Amino acid sequence: MSGEVLLSDEGGVATRLVAALSSLVAQVKPGTFALIGGLAVMTRLTTVHRATDDIDAVSEQLGEDPSDIAIVIGEQGRGAVRRLVDGVKVDHIDVGSMPADRIPTSDLPEDEWDRAFVLAHRWGLDSATPVVISAVEGRIVSATVACPAASSASLVAMKLQSAPRRPPARVEKAANDYLDL
């Protein structure tokens, strides 16, 4: 493992997230996803710096078949109702099977923001390294999971392109993006 991270758990939030992530990891083929989003940022910072209530992941989709995470959470398409994993919502971004540095320019979207989105999220999967995340209540480890987490640099790229594009109805997500940066 590239690192062991202890997240101090005030109020049980980290325990709930880490336990749900452990359940998700147990159901998904190794190497097909990486942790991104708020929990990944906390993992790279090694501290709970803000509240989050979901798990975000980037997952590899091979051809037209759904990604492993889409199968686990029962996603049937855009806008479909998703099943919670141990009571925690899982959001995921599916990416293609080609590494970011090999995607031909002609295969990328024309819009610069959309290109940045595609490349940043694929880079998150490409750059992921294994970590062990443990939620700690007092001196007791309450939940532990080993999983791949996106690199700090790819998380910055994801947050930089996401924050300014959040719609007004999701302004709190933009604030979290800036806080994560």
Burial-class residue 17 by CB neighbours within 10 Å (0-12, 13-18, 19+): buried
- Domain range spanning residue 170? 4-176
| Rounded Cα gap, residues 49 and 22, in angstroms | 21
The per-residue pLDDT of the chain, averaged, comes to 87
Report strand pairing: 129-137 vs 4-8. Answer: parallel
Q: Residue 24: which CATH number?
A: 3.30.460
Confidence of residue 51 (pLDDT cuts 50, 70, 90): confident
Q: What is the dihedral of CA 97, 98, 101, 104, to 10 degrees?
A: -140
pLDDT at residue 177 is higher than 90: no
Residues 65-71: what's their mean pLDDT? Answer: 86
pLDDT at residue 2 is higher than 60: no
pLDDT at 145: 95
Please give the tally of structural domains in the chain.
Answer: 1
Q: Does the residue 144 lie in any domain? A: yes
pLDDT at 125: 97
Q: Does the residue 46 lie in any domain? A: yes
Q: How is residue 150 annotated by DSSP?
A: -
Q: Does the residue 135 lie in any domain? A: yes
b vs e for 150-166, b when ≥16 Cβ sit within 10 Å of the residue's Cβ?
Answer: bbeebbbbbbebbbeee
pLDDT at residue 40 is higher than 60: yes
pLDDT at 50: 77
pLDDT at residue 175 is higher than 60: yes
Q: Does the residue 138 lie in any domain? A: yes
pLDDT at 80: 46
Q: Does the residue 181 lie in any domain? A: no
Looking up tokens 């005030």 gives 10
